Structure 1
Amino acid sequence: MNNLTKTETEIAALKQYNQITYILYLAGYLVGFTWLIAIIMNYVKRDDMRGTWLESHVNYQIKTFWISFVGYIVGALLAIVVIGFVILLAVFIWDAYRLIKGLIALNDNKLV
């Protein structure tokens, strides 16, 4: 079905899907692997969200994931030196902020 003609029910289902992926990213802080499930889910449904306001959320989540992933790798590699721990903390704060900001915007039916 064309993304321009999605019904309210389809949009609601995609919104719920997006909520689940945000929650999976956040749960990754406690569980440790749910971020991997979330990024796969983002790529699976990305085409379905094209042309809707939810496209901004899926792109936002994907961008947040990759920048955070690189930041965590750099921080972990530099953890031998004290600066690595500072980088890890900064990436954690940035990542959590973006995920919470995105989830709030999603719940308010707003773009990010």
Structure 2
Amino acid sequence: MAETDYAAFAAKTPGDRTVMHVLYGLHTVAWLSGGTLAVIALIVNYIRRADEQDPLYASHHSYMIATFWWTVLWLVVTGPLWFLLVLPGAAAYTIIGLWYLYRCLRGWLRFADDRAP
């Protein structure tokens, strides 16, 4: 069994950590921009994840990407509720928004503790 040479992995810098905090922040306040900030963060997540060697950072990028796409899916699936009556559509979007906020804050707190999402 071959041993992993951990010295070959580049050490994480404070800047890498700051980028992750900024990405979580963008995802968390995305509702203020109608989702534009989330799309920007998503693009950066894809770019950074492609070059990421640290499993902790890669898992957090994947977590944010999955959270975004699951949210989009549920918004599309529940979108027709707005045509029935306003109340079911508003209730569905509120629940989805709260779930998105929960996922962002949970991931952000776990990242701050150096834990996987």
Do these two structures clear the TM 0.5 threshold for a shared fold by scoring above it?
A: yes
Provide closer, same or farther for how the CA distance between residues 49 and 3 of structure 1 changes in structure 2, counting only shifts above 3 A: farther
SS across alignment from 1:73: helix
Match in the other structure for 2:44: 41
Report whether the alignment pairs 1:75 with 2:69.
no
If each structure's helix is expressed as a fraction of its own residues, which one has the higher value? Answer: 1
Whether contact under 8 Å (2:9, 2:53) holds in the other structure is no
Question: After superposition, where does 1:13-92 map in structure 2 within 5 Å?
Answer: 13-32=15-34, 33-82=36-85, 83-92=88-97
TM-score by length of 1: 0.85
Whether contact under 8 Å (1:57, 1:106) holds in the other structure is yes
- Once the two structures are superposed, what CA deviation does each residue of 1:51-89 show, in whole Å capped at 9, x if it has no partner? 431111001000000000111222333211243222212
Please identify the structure whose Cα radius of gyration is greater. 2
Provide closer, same or farther for how the CA distance between residues 16 and 105 of structure 1 changes in structure 2, counting only shifts above 3 A: same
CA-atom RMSD, angstroms? 2.0
Provide closer, same or farther for how the CA distance between residues 61 and 4 of structure 1 changes in structure 2, counting only shifts above 3 A: farther
Whether contact under 8 Å (1:39, 1:65) holds in the other structure is yes
Deviation at 1:3, TM superposition (A): 9.6
Aligned residue pairs total: 109
Q: Give 4+ residue runs of structure 1 displaced > 3 Å after superposition.
A: none
**Structure 2 unaligned runs (5+)?**
1-5
| Percent identity over paired residues | 25
Opposite residue 17 of structure 2, the aligned amino acid is: K
Provide closer, same or farther for how the CA distance between residues 105 and 52 of structure 1 changes in structure 2, counting only shifts above 3 A: same
Rounded to whole Å, the distance in 2 between the matches of 1:52 and 1:4 is 14
Provide closer, same or farther for how the CA distance between residues 8 and 21 of structure 1 changes in structure 2, counting only shifts above 3 A: closer
Deviation at 1:27, TM superposition (A): 1.9
Opposite residue 14 of structure 1, the aligned amino acid is: D
